[in-house]
Amino acid sequence: MQALNRLFCPKSIAVIGGGTWCASVIEQCRAMGFQGEIWPVHPSAEQVAGLRAFRSVTDLPEAPDAAFVGVNRTATLDIVAGLAACGAGGAVCFASGFLEAEAEDDTVRSLNAQLLEAAGDMPFLGPNCYGFINYLDGALLWPDQHGGVRVDHGVAIVTQSSNIALNLTMQQRGVPLAYVVTAGNQAQTGIAEIATALLEDPRVTALGLHIEGFGDLRAFEALAARARDLGKRIVALKVGRSHAAKAATLSHTASLAGSDAGATAFLTRLGIARLPDLPSFLETLKLLHITGALPSGQIRCMSCSGGEASLVADAALGLDLSFPALSADQAAALGAVLGQAVTVANPLDYHTSIWRNEAAMTQCFATMMAPDAAITLLVLDVPRPDRCDPEDWHITLAALKAAKETVPGAHVGVISTLPELMVEDVAQDLIAAGIVPFAGIEVALTACEAASVILRDIPDPVLLPTPQVGADLVPEADAKARLAAFGLRVPLARRALSPGAARAVAADIGFPVVLKGEGIAHKTEAGAVVLNLQEGLSVREAADAMPCSRYLVEEMITGVAAELLIGVVKDPAHGFVLTLAAGGTLTELWQDQASLLLPVADDMIEQALSSLRIAPLLEGYRGAPAADRGAILRAIRSVEAYVLTEAEGLEEIEINPLLCTATDAVAADALLRRKD
């Protein structure tokens, strides 16, 4: 496929079709001051939107750089073929009725294939999309109104939803939009390819993706690698749910990982911050545009109200942010400015004693902008100008700007407690001064956390999902034997085909033992596992009470510091999801888990284990022996090695519990579901 630069930065635009939609494309280009050629194409009209119309693509003066194809789906095929034949730079296919209509129309898959064949090497967006807006050059292949303005540089946004794209252009938060691009059905050109092309524009400062589904995982890996090379950050709003949980329901792992764990793990792996909603998404892009990535999550905060300072401190709970204590020099300098009545702390309530005193506020704000702070935030709500006089608040903003000038390299933001109190003209004035205007406390802190994500070394490519199969539940003893061949430590065990045989086997292994019923996925819930049996009669009685006819007798592992779950579920959208969680009876109770995609690096495993609520048990809680971290890592690596080697036909694995002692990590139970 050809490069996308001609399409996104055109010198000439063909608008093919009639009616309101196509006329709007021409009108929007004129309104934005597009300096290139605009050529309407219509088989019978003399003019479209006041411009001379050409009868066909072959009548155009030359091959257009970009074409908006605003005709029905059947006519789209011939038009796209004609554009490709004449050497056009690319097209936007506006028509619907392709793959998005597959449930209602079984002919659309054939239409989709015909569209791809017609385009050949010529790139196109869609079908079923609005197209794009290039606010840098005033080039719009966009059939509707929008709320943006021309900019010299700014952020790029790519979305699968045309309506969300339209709504984002209407934002009044001061986010400078360089490109807004809709991907539609992505019949040919996917979000990752579009995003990569936009990142290459040096005027683009950061990239935002609204994603419903990833599709080509390798393309997203390449996008993330290119963003790192260019020193630009990507954030994502990922919506929708995969079918991972529905495809694998036998294990705790499936319910813990859920349907969205793979998406989160994939984005985290790529260093792409995931935002929960559109306001946080826009605020993070705004922050990245002004400051770039933050070096850490250490922030300083100032307010003339203790109530506001408390709101900020509370909003940071649960986020990877901190408020570092002030140094002795800072405290002394602030005390000299604010007086003894003010408690010097971070967050700082500087009171109103210096209100309207621009020099004192400047000194106070500059003192808070210490080198160890990733960003210094001022909480300030400018009164509504239609009913109030905001002059005093403008003095405060002037002091903040002056303070920033005295501290080279300081990152500074202003937070309004309510979104509507950060009005657009104030936001734009702050952006011009290099200060981030945040519309709301929660979104401001969420943005700071997202912008402070530390990029680790790029891991190996994810293990792509294999085709789904009708998998079988492998008997536990066989499952353990297969995993043990890859290094997993399992208890000494033997099978028995009757309660009497179980009693004899237990005597051979040596007491205490564990008795399990075979062929049951959730043994504890079914009463098919009994621990710590001390003599033969107890073994026989336990076997008689189980709802099965085959048994597994195992050595009893003692001295357990903690129990873990190691699980792997094949996610058909993202790869193989590794879940590490609290194990045993705590699994469902605590819902304490971390998910990664295979293969994993050692630091990823360590970070995941340390994030668990049961991490203190692994480290030795209140004087108890610590678990053998090396043995735990070996167990995880054994499961990973099995998956990497035996991925074909594999649906899921679960080790639960992995019994972690001071010297060992033993798989007490193993579930394996696969098709050999």
**pLDDT score for 523:** 82
Residue 336 pLDDT exceeds 70: yes
Structure tokens, 270: 């790529």
Q: Using one digit for the tens of pLDDT, what is the confidence trace for 126-172?
A: 999 999 999 999 999 999 999 999 999 999 999 989 999 999 999 99
Residue 195 reports pLDDT greater than 70: yes
pLDDT digits (tens, 9 = 90+) for 580-606: 999 876 766 677 889 999 999 999 999
Give the pLDDT of residue 248. Answer: 40
Q: Which residues are paired to 414 by β-bridges? A: 378, 437
Query: Which residues are registered as beta bridge partners of 493?
Result: 554
- Would you state the pLDDT for residue 526? 85
For the segment 421-442, the average pLDDT, to the nearest whole number, is 95
Check pLDDT > 70 for residue 244: no
Average pLDDT for residues 187-207, to the nearest whole number? 97
CA distance 528 to 518: 8
Residue 316 identity: A
Which residues, other chains included, contact 18 with Cβ-Cβ below 8 Å and sequence gap of 6+?
42, 45, 48, 70
% of the chain beyond a pLDDT of 70:
95
Q: Is the pLDDT of residue 249 over 60?
A: no
pLDDT tens string 26-63: 999 999 999 999 999 999 999 999 999 999 999 999 99
Query: Cβ distance 375 to 294 under 8 Å?
Result: yes
Q: What is the pLDDT of residue 353?
A: 86
Q: What is the pLDDT of residue 370?
A: 78
Q: Per-residue pLDDT for 13 more than 80?
A: yes
Helix/strand/coil (H, E, C) string of 73-102? Answer: HHHHHHHHHHHHHHCCCCEEECCCCCHHHC
Q: Is the pLDDT of residue 254 over 70?
A: no
Q: What is the value of pTM for the model shown? A: 0.90
Q: State pLDDT tens for residues 347-378.
A: 999 988 899 999 999 999 999 997 778 999 99
Q: Is the pLDDT of residue 653 over 50?
A: yes
* Residue 134, CA atoms < 13 Å, CB-side half-sphere: 26
The pLDDT value given to residue 671? 93
Q: Which residues pair with 658 in a beta bridge?
A: 564, 667
Q: What is the pLDDT of residue 620?
A: 87
Q: In a 10 Å sphere around its CB, with 0-12 CB exposed, 13-18 middle and 19+ buried, how is residue 361 labelled?
A: buried
> At residue 170, what are phi and psi to the nearest 5 degrees?
-90, 0
Residue type, 517: G
Q: Which residue type is seen at 278?
A: L
What's the one-letter identity of residue 580?
A: L
Convert the pLDDT of each residue in 533-544 to its tens digit.
999 999 999 999
| pLDDT-derived band at 245, boundaries 50, 70, 90 | very low
| pLDDT for the residue 341 | 81
